[in-house]
Chains A and B, each alone.
Chain A
């Protein structure tokens, strides 16, 4: 086989495998759907709030349930001790959780 055809064949095979990966993803999604539904049901039944990603610290095991400031280790610029802490952002909405009330208290009327 001439060099061009050899390379183009490899490229075609790779492109085929690339396409196949999407088909495989669809298949896996379908296959995992029942388990995924069962997990969602478990979350609802047990009133769970967080996935088990990192068990090493409270604020990484339950980031959304952590103390208001502990996503920053009690202080906004505290040095991070746990490696996974650097993988996690502060939970959504934590920064302005009390803005509504604080603004009310601060307004000089």
Chain B
């Protein structure tokens, strides 16, 4: 056993010494390889954590949100509509929601204005999300004016700022009193944006939705389950950028592997011949090369993964910000809670370590099975 370990260490000694001969090239290879793992792992960690966190915090979203559609577009709920829903078995509570968008041309950002049902806010006061605190420099007690779509200026006092820890769901919110909301948007009395329904028994939700569609054919129920499924599959591998990244990474790896596989130089072949002539078995040569492939790919995987972990969970995924931000000015700054999918990491491990090691071994196999006497006939 000890001899076996010592022998492997000898083989690693040789591998390392021969890698050190082309230090620049091999360090470059390691860093490109590590970078590849870093990008892929960052994407995997970020998207998985976001999916997990989103579905976790959205677990309490309304069971059903009912929209009214006119010509395929979202329209206001007119007075009397909620009453027409009538008594559907299983529905505990029906409640009109009031919310809309406001474009702030000062900082060129979109806000979500909303009437907070579960929060007491006095007239003339607002509660703002943490992103507004940053972009407009707001704090409790400050006043701020918004120009409404009808042209008037409305001034509000900031009563409170929502906690930064809830930024994932609250960054752009401006919560206000119902009458302020109606006055600001000239929202007609008795109208609502949509209706939130609570259904006590989760098994009933589907039936309630079918009954709603039958009773109100112009309505569109959005189920909690759909919301959760939407976020459970967000940033799927099929999404544009992910696919582009994946394709680029696979292509890059392909080139790398091809270069390795085709790049067994005459010098390397000669060295294998020498090693065999001085008493190395074919198996020793292959083991030595196996260590080379494993060391490089394992190190690249580990370093890339660790860097990705730090990037996503300790640096708020700064490198993704420009991609995810799009044209938006308001960008939520949330610290993701690490939810790590072991299978995903195992897959990444397998697809980065295994093919490279194999790509190193395949040409060596051919070279190592040649006769050792070839060196004598230089």
Q: Mark A51-92, 1 if CB is under 8 A from B, else 0.
A: 111111010111111111110000000000011111111011
Are A65 and B238 in contact, with the CB atoms below 8 A?
no
Interface members, chain A 16-75 (any B CB < 8 Å): 17-18, 21-22, 24-25, 28-29, 32, 35-36, 38-56, 58, 60-70
| Alpha-carbon distance A69/B232, docked complex (angstroms) | 21
Looking at the complex, which of B143-151, B259-267, B275-283, B336-344 is the stretch in contact with chain A?
Answer: B336-344
Q: What is the minimal beta-carbon distance from B343 to any residue of chain A, in angstroms?
A: 14
Q: What is the minimal beta-carbon distance from A85 to any residue of chain B, in angstroms?
A: 8
Are B166 and A28 in contact, with the CB atoms below 8 A?
no
| Alpha-carbon distance A69/B270, docked complex (angstroms) | 65
- Does B82 sit at the interface, judged by CB under 8 A? no
- Total A-B Cβ pairs within 8 A: 239
Are A93 and B169 in contact, with the CB atoms below 8 A?
no
Q: Which residues of B contact A108 (CB under 8 A)?
A: none
Are A55 and B172 in contact, with the CB atoms below 8 A?
yes
- Does A2 sit at the interface, judged by CB under 8 A? yes
Count of interface residues, chain B, beta-carbon cutoff 8 Å: 98
Are A42 and B162 in contact, with the CB atoms below 8 A?
yes
| Alpha-carbon distance A68/B218, docked complex (angstroms) | 12
| Alpha-carbon distance A67/B163, docked complex (angstroms) | 30
Closest residue on chain B to residue A10 by CB atoms: B299
A39-B168, A56-B327 known; A18+B302 contact, CB < 8 A? yes
| Alpha-carbon distance A51/B131, docked complex (angstroms) | 13
- Does B305 sit at the interface, judged by CB under 8 A? yes
- Does B351 sit at the interface, judged by CB under 8 A? no
Are B226 and A4 in contact, with the CB atoms below 8 A?
no
Q: Which residues of B contact A63 (CB under 8 A)?
A: 230, 234
A14-B299, A47-B95 known; A100+B213 contact, CB < 8 A? yes
- Does B257 sit at the interface, judged by CB under 8 A? no
Footprint of A on B, CB under 8 Å? 9-10, 12-13, 16-17, 20, 50, 53-54, 56-62, 65, 67, 69, 72-74, 95, 97, 101, 109-112, 114, 116-119, 129, 131, 162-163, 165-173, 175, 194, 196, 210, 213-214, 217, 220, 222-223, 225-227, 229-236, 238-242, 295, 298-299, 302-303, 305-306, 309, 313, 323-332, 335, 337-340
Q: What is the minimal beta-carbon distance from A9 to any residue of chain B, in angstroms?
A: 12
| Alpha-carbon distance A93/B69, docked complex (angstroms) | 16
A39-B165, A65-B222 known; A46+B339 contact, CB < 8 A? no
Closest residue on chain B to residue A33 by CB atoms: B337
A-B contact pairs, 12 of them (CB 8 A): A3-B16, A3-B20, A29-B337, A39-B57, A39-B169, A43-B59, A49-B62, A55-B328, A63-B230, A67-B72, A89-B234, A92-B229
Q: Which residues of A contact B236 (CB under 8 A)?
A: 89
Are B339 and A29 in contact, with the CB atoms below 8 A?
yes
Apart from A4-B12, A52-B169, what 9 extra A-B contacts exist at CB < 8 Å? A8-B12, A49-B65, A49-B222, A51-B332, A52-B168, A52-B170, A55-B331, A88-B239, A89-B236
